[in-house]
Chains A and B, each alone.
Chain A
Amino acid sequence: MSNLAALPIILPLLAGIVVAFIHKKTKIVRILSQVISVVNLIAVAWVFLQVQQNGSIILETGGWAAPYGIILVGDLLSMTLVLTTNIIAVACVFFAPQSLSKHQEEYYFYSFFFLLVAGVSGAFLTGDLFNLFVFFEVLLMASYGLIVLGNGKVQLRESIKYVLINLFSSMLFVTTIAFLYSVVGTVNMAQIAVRVQEVEQQGILTTIGILFFFVFATKAAVFPLYYWLPRPYISPNPVVSALFGALLTKVGIYSILRTFTLMFNQDVQLTHTLFIYLAALTMLFGVIGALSTHNVKLIIAYNIIPAVGFMLMGIGIFSEVSISGTIYYLVHDMIIKGALFLLVGALVYVAGTSDLRKMGGLIHHHPVLGWMFFMASLVLAGIPPFSGFIGKLLLLRGGLAQDELMIVIVALISSLLILFSMIRIFIRGFWGEKTENPYPERKRKAAKMAWPVAILLSFSVLLGVGAEWFYPTIQSIAEYLMDPQIYIDSVLKE
């Protein structure tokens, strides 16, 4: 037992509560939140190093032994994702004062923000299926608070749809847990993994597995269930959009990755083949959506969807190389989506509009912003030597090794189209004739907005250039995931 595993959940939770007490004193809250986020990042990085050296940290809350009590499992995969989450949180908390209005900051933005970070970290760390549902609800509750921040007309309209779809999928999640409980009689992930192998009728497990997939796919925005995503994601403030785009769908993907490597791996032929087809459709439809609009925010929001397709593709191919590709892509995508949403927030701020047809020539007034956006586009599309390239390379290698030619071709085409959709923003928005600066007074604030994004982008570049250095960790995670017995042994300790 080690309380370290609870640290990434408790620290932000406490911070959120403390901040709620003094929510009217904006300046203090701002500085306090920034300090706490940085401290939290350092603490999480330290725990990550501990896990990397000494193996998984397992916390049995309340002292109840593993299959009976609720456990938190800080293994390498969880800690990697928690670390990434906190990097994004730090960038967002430094970006927030520039883009939020005073009213929004006062109205518990920082409390909800910390609650969201705690919920996401909890969802990554938990080793209990029902507890995963609870942490889902914690992070969704925080996201409901964030999405209505500001009370705009369109915002309220879109957030109702967002809340409803999430509420419905949560209820399905509970029902599915009930199904699984009646078959295996436990909600502890490790024990489920043991018991599913003993169940005689494997058919029912496959059905339950698909039901779980349906639930997580709704959260992650996989092909037939992505329709709800783009519009609610663009209606709130850019910081909130960045948090949503970077974290929320990724929690869904993480859940699919965890459940389908650990528990539902009996009928790979059926389930994982289904994933490959859905991944292909997700990529295509997502990128078509991104090409169909002139709203810059909407283009970025639609670009979340093909990324989900890429990650799902790795899970579908289900080999060590492809799983490591998925993990690499997951980390890369969290960082770059955070950066892109923040960048587009800054772009809309300096241009005064989100319509691509009404802007142009901004690079003459905001060169830093422009070139950062160009770089982010290259990272997203997967141009070497940036991080997107490594992730895609691993995924494609995994696909070719398993003779999944169809998905490889689709992935390549959609990468190209992603690049096209991003460069379109660059050319129409930043490039072009020098025009009069629409808002010269916004230049200083835009410069302040730029540097949190620069942090994220440098992480992204580091992830690509230093792939040699990161790859062994990612590979060991993939090995670990492909052999569920390691997880089971570390939790149940026979």
Chain B
Amino acid sequence: MEFIMAILAGILFTTGIYNLLQKQLLRIIIGTGLISHGAHLFILTMGELKTGKPPILTEGVENYTDPLPQALILTSIVISFGVTSLLLVLAYRASQVNGTDNMEQLRGNDYE
């Protein structure tokens, strides 16, 4: 199971990076979304995949699910939600003000 998850995370990363290297802004944002999904799955996998066990750590309980990765992922999801939505607004404004959403044309040295 861990093996499959690792490959899945890898696929998400590769597609994410492929999209990140595109010229269109929207594709880049989708790429960042994919990468963050890959990272989240990766955390889950790294905390060992177990089901049906309680997240308890006391004496006598030998078999338990680790709750920490889930807490980490939840935090990370909230953060990536915030950043992605902010990035969407930013990209929208930037493409409107600059008249293009092509990264090639969003270059230049004409800063004030």
- Give A residues with C-beta under 8 Å from B: 130, 133-134, 137, 140-141, 144, 148, 151-154, 156-160, 163-164, 167-168, 170-171, 174-175, 177-179, 181-182, 187, 231, 234-235, 295, 298, 354
- What is the count of residue pairs linking A and B with beta-carbon distances less than 8 angstroms? 101
Return the contact of B90 from the options A134, A163, A175 (Cβ within 8 A): A163
- B63 interface residue per 8 A CB criterion: no
Tell me, in angstroms, the Cα distance from A182 to B48 when the chains sit together: 8
Is B47 part of the contact surface with A, judged by Cβ < 8 Å?
A: yes
With contacts A134-B75, A167-B32, A167-B83 taken as known, whether A179 is within 8 angstroms of B46 at the C-beta atoms is: yes
- A170: B residues at CB distance < 8 A: 79, 83
Residues in A whose Cβ lies below 8 Å from that of B43: 174-175, 177-178, 181
Not counting A160-B106, A174-B72, A181-B46, a sample of 13 additional A-B residue pairs whose C-beta atoms are within 8 angstroms of each other reads A133-B76, A137-B83, A141-B82, A144-B83, A144-B90, A154-B108, A154-B111, A154-B112, A160-B90, A175-B43, A181-B69, A181-B72, A187-B72
Given contacts A168-B32, A182-B46, A182-B47, contact A156 B98 (CB under 8 A): yes
Q: Closest approach, in angstroms, between the C-beta of B25 and any C-beta of chain A?
A: 7
- Measured between C-beta atoms, what is the minimum distance from B102 to chain A in Å? 12
Q: Across chains A and B, which 8 residue pairs bring their CB atoms closest together, nearest first?
A: A182-B46, A156-B94, A178-B43, A178-B46, A174-B39, A137-B79, A175-B39, A171-B35
Cβ–Cβ < 8 Å partners of A158 in chain B: 111
Number of interface residues of B (CB under 8 A): 36
25 contacts between A and B (CB under 8 A): A130-B75, A133-B76, A134-B79, A137-B82, A141-B83, A144-B83, A144-B86, A151-B97, A153-B98, A156-B97, A163-B86, A164-B87, A168-B20, A171-B36, A174-B43, A175-B39, A175-B43, A177-B43, A179-B46, A181-B47, A181-B68, A181-B72, A187-B68, A187-B72, A295-B111
Q: How far is the CB of A351 from chain B (nearest CB, A)?
A: 13
